[in-house]
């Protein structure tokens, strides 16, 4: 390979100069549009997911997140409701006209998750699971590719290249923090990667300040900073009872905090020239 050429090609700006826009049933991600994907870390029960989904729909949020298959550091932690979680999430999203974003942890689950999800998420622990990336390159649905917690920009873009090279060009990158010497935050949210990715790749990039910081109070400032850095959107964890959440309660926003953040993003969006899903004039609460 020509030494001057980047090791990745299909994801590069040289290959395609115009921004990729990922199309969804209820909107799109990328190119001047600012999307918010929100929901609980994990789907826990029917009441929880429907309550959160209804709340989000009143704020005009179009993308519902939630884990049904959860990659947990400890085997003793809640592992997710699995297929039941997928079904509950699908029902809630359909009722409130939203798209579903959820993680697929294993190659043998791709078909099942694709049956219920609109966007399939690859978690940080799986960014270099090349079998999984190849399987996702063959599906006809967008893939949200989280950055590996110890991965370089080049490794991340090469992981995306696996998906594009297999035939699926609907990829959204997600910066979710990397592991550094700092232990005061759960991860170190690398916002400087956002404008760098934008210059090197045509793919949309969003930011997840929930996994990125692990601390509820840091979510709003880092969300606004992500918009300022040029991100195409956010992935946010929100819960109706964060203190009782079965996973990631400490980084889950309360409803009031989430609503306040949406209003602030709306204001900031007019300054940064971003069109938003959530038009505060239409907000019902
Ligand atoms: C999540 O989104 O809940 C999650 C587990 O993300 P990550 O893979 O970034 O840790
Ligand atoms: Mn989480």
DSSP states along 7-21: S--TTBTTT--SPP-
pLDDT at residue 2, as a whole number: 52
Provide the residue count of the chain: 285
- Mutate-to-test residue for ligand 1 from 208, 213, 250, 252, highest number of ligand atoms within 8 A of CB: 208
> Closest by alpha carbon to 192, among 161, 165, 231?
231
The atom of ligand 1 lying closest to the CA of 235 is 2
- Mutate-to-test residue for ligand 1 from 124, 156, 177, highest number of ligand atoms within 8 A of CB: 124
234 DSSP assignment? E
pLDDT band at 285 (very low <50, low <70, confident <90, very high): confident
249-269: per-residue pLDDT in tens? 999 999 999 999 999 999 999
**1 pLDDT more than 80:** no
Could you give the domains of the chain?
A: 3-278 (3.20.20.70)
The atom of ligand 1 lying closest to the CA of 122 is 8
Q: Write the secondary structure of 86-147 as one string of H (helix), E (strand) and C (coil).
A: HHHHHHHHHHCCCEEEEECCCHHHHHHHHHHCCEEEECHHHCCCHHHHHHHCCCCCCEEEEC
Smallest-distance ligand from the CA of 177? 1
Structure tokens at 131: 């079998």
Taking the C-alpha atoms of residue 124 and residue 101, their distance in angstroms, rounded to an integer, is: 15
Q: Residues lining ligand 1, judged by CB closer than 6 Å?
A: 41, 67, 71, 123-124, 146, 176, 208, 211
Taking the C-alpha atoms of residue 210 and residue 185, their distance in angstroms, rounded to an integer, is: 11
Smallest-distance ligand from the CA of 65? 1
pLDDT at residue 277, as a whole number: 82
The atom of ligand 1 lying closest to the CA of 247 is 3
Those residues with Cβ within 8 angstroms of residue 104's Cβ, 6 or more apart along the chain or in another chain:
69, 110, 113, 114, 117, 120, 121, 122, 132, 136
Taking the C-alpha atoms of residue 148 and residue 159, their distance in angstroms, rounded to an integer, is: 10
78-87: per-residue pLDDT in tens? 999 999 999 9
User: Is the torsion defined by CA of 65, 66, 68, 73 positive or negative?
Assistant: positive
Taking the C-alpha atoms of residue 140 and residue 152, their distance in angstroms, rounded to an integer, is: 27
For the entire predicted model, the pTM comes to 0.97
Taking the C-alpha atoms of residue 217 and residue 85, their distance in angstroms, rounded to an integer, is: 28
Report how far ligand 1's centroid is from the alpha carbon of 222 (Å): 17
Smallest-distance ligand from the CA of 101? 1
Cβ atoms of 225 and 193 within 8 Å: the answer is: no
Structure tokens at 29: 């991600």
**281 pLDDT more than 80:** no
**4 pLDDT more than 70:** no
pLDDT band at 3 (very low <50, low <70, confident <90, very high): low
Cβ atoms of 262 and 277 within 8 Å: the answer is: no
pLDDT at residue 20, as a whole number: 98
**243 pLDDT more than 80:** yes
- Mutate-to-test residue for ligand 1 from 67, 72, 206, highest number of ligand atoms within 8 A of CB: 67
Report how far ligand 1's centroid is from the alpha carbon of 15 (Å): 30
Q: What would the mean pLDDT of 148-163 be, rounded to a whole number?
A: 98
Smallest-distance ligand from the CA of 251? 2
45-100: per-residue pLDDT in tens? 999 999 999 999 999 999 999 999 999 999 999 999 999 999 999 999 999 999 99
- Please count the other Cβ atoms lying within 10 Å of the Cβ belonging to residue 153: 16
The atom of ligand 1 lying closest to the CA of 147 is 9
Taking the C-alpha atoms of residue 126 and residue 36, their distance in angstroms, rounded to an integer, is: 23
């Amino acid at each position: 390979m020509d030494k001057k050429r980047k090791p990745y090609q299909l994801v590069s700006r040289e290959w395609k100069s115009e921004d990729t826009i990922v199309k969804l049933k209820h909107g799109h991600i990328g190119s001047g549009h600012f999307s918010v994907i929100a929901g609980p870390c994990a789907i826990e029960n029917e009441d929880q997911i429907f309550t959160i989904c209804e709340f989000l729909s009143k704020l005009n949020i179009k993308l519902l997140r939630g884990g049904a298959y959860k990659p947990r550091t400890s085997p003793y932690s809640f592992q997710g409701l699995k297929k039941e979680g997928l079904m509950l999430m699908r029902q809630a999203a359909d009722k409130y006209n939203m798209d579903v974003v959820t993680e697929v942890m294993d190659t043998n689950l791709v078909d099942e998750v694709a049956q219920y999800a609109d966007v399939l998420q690859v978690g940080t622990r799986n960014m270099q699971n090349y079998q999984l990336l190849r399987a996702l390159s063959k599906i006809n649905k967008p893939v949200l590719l989280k950055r590996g917690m110890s991965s370089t920009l080049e490794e991340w873009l090469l992981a995306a290249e696996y998906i594009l090279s297999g035939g699926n060009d609907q990829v959204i990158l997600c910066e979710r923090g990397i592991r550094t010497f700092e232990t005061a935050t759960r991860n170190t949210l690398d916002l400087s990667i956002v404008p760098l990715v934008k210059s090197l790749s045509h793919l949309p990039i969003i930011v997840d300040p929930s996994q990125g910081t692990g601390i509820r109070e840091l979510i709003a400032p880092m969300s606004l900073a992500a918009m300022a850095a040029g991100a195409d959107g956010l992935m946010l964890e929100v819960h109706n009872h964060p203190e009782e959440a079965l996973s990631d309660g400490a980084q889950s926003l309360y409803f009031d905090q989430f609503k306040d953040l949406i209003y602030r993003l709306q204001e900031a969006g007019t300054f940064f020239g971003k069109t938003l899903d959530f038009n505060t004039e239409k907000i019902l609460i």
